[in-house]
A and B are shown apart, each in its own frame.
Chain A
Amino acid sequence: MMHALKIQPAEETAVRAPTRRALAKQQTRAKVLAAARRLFSEQGYEGATIRDIAAAAGMSTGAVFANFTDKSDLFREIMLTDMVALADAMREAASHGASAEDALLKIFTAGYRFYQTQLPLARAAFSVGWSPQDGPALRGSPPVQTLVDLFAEQLARGVKSGELAQDPDAALRTQMLFDAYLANYDQAIFQGWTLDALQARSRDQIRILLAGVRRA
């Protein structure tokens, strides 16, 4: 819920002098998204139906479908909106990194902090992200690419500063760092790891994954 609030101003500034109808439509969308966010968190992606979401938003399923093509569209909208805010939080965290390695750790941690209060939604996102049907659309979306790029930028920064050697495997290394970041959510979701524990694990993982390019 927290960053539903955070996101809203950005959405509103994008709309110039909305007509009353546009405003009503926007409110309807916001209501559906808020209800969907809650139900996906409570019942998971599979468990939440459009019918339930419509009921929770106090409208007909028809009204939901007037705004979203289907459940996966609705879910993707929630995730992608979050990821734009997540990318901002990560970029800000990385800017305080003393080195590329430290910046990467700060990026990992910013992500875990971001989702700390809404792990059930993260869990639903993994369920969708791994599904053969909806996974590619979610994983291949521009906001996810922005996150991946942020990881790549830190490696490039390390090469530039001389901390890391030139890396023919930079793309692969970036992907592996991103996957390690994602894989740790399992510990957060299923084993209740604290932010500190996740951070300690991330530090070790980053150290292992940078070992091949770190200059002595």
Chain B
Amino acid sequence: MTSPPHLAATDDPPGGAAAPPAGDAAVAAPSQRQTQKEATRNKVIDAARELFDTQGYQGTTIREIARHAGVSVGSVFTTFASKGEILSQVMADRLDGLYAELDRVMPHLRGATIDRLRTMFAIHFAFEVRHTRLFLSHIAAAYDWTLSAGATPMGKNRRLQSIIRECLEKGVAEGDVCPDADAQEVIDLLMAAYAWTYRLAAWNDADAPAMTAVMDRQIGLIAAGFQPRH
């Protein structure tokens, strides 16, 4: 599936646009029906992102999404099985851009592991700050019974986990991460701290620098548990 073009205009992090994967563009002359379906899909995603952002996930109905997108409820369901699946797609489309940015930046980061982790999370907050309610909705949806199999709730996405893991492995190689530290435990603590920090933003109106400052302290606290003792 091609990333919808609107992402480039609204959601890319400063300083680098994530180009949609080139492979999909090779599909020549899609049928009219396909084009129409893609257009419907994009309209639904756009409408859903806006509504989830302003009203939250629970406060938004499929009917409203359809009306906002200017399509019928039926045509929403020809593309998505459930509200949870729409949310997953909204998040996945956004995260594609974020991960492209991280893939570009991470290999060039220098400094101690603690600093690389801080930079990596700061990039996350700068990227997501305008959509903190949406992010919380994404977490909330992971616990929703009505979630269909096609949905990918927060936490099931392994990408962030593997980025942290690489960061820690590099630290072990460079000697500022204790080889005995259990990477998965450190990852889970960092993920919990990361998710908690969004609550701060959505409920206390914290901005990206404020979120980053809190996350920096939490990373420092966790780092005391994985740094070698002198």
Interface residues of A (CB under 8 A from B): 43-47, 123-124, 126-136, 139, 169, 172-173, 175-176, 179-180, 182-183, 186, 189, 201, 204-205, 207-212
Contacts and interface: CB of A to CB of B under 8 A. Distances in A.
A169 B217 contact: yes
A169 to B, nearest CB: 6
Contacts of B191: 183
Given A130-B136, A132-B202, A180-B192, A208 B144 contact: no
Contacts of B56: 131-133
A130 B133 CA distance: 10
A211 B224 contact: yes
B185 A176 contact: no
B143 A126 contact: yes
B48 to A, nearest CB: 15
B146 to A, nearest CB: 6
B57 A131 contact: yes
A211 B143 contact: no
A201 B185 CA distance: 8
A44 B145 contact: yes
B68 interface: no
Interface in B125-155: 133, 136-137, 139-146, 155
Given A127-B143, A128-B140, 7 more contacts: A131-B137, A133-B56, A134-B58, A135-B136, A135-B203, A205-B189, A208-B185
A183 to B, nearest CB: 4
Contacts of B218: 172, 176
Contacts of B23: none
Nearest to B56: A132
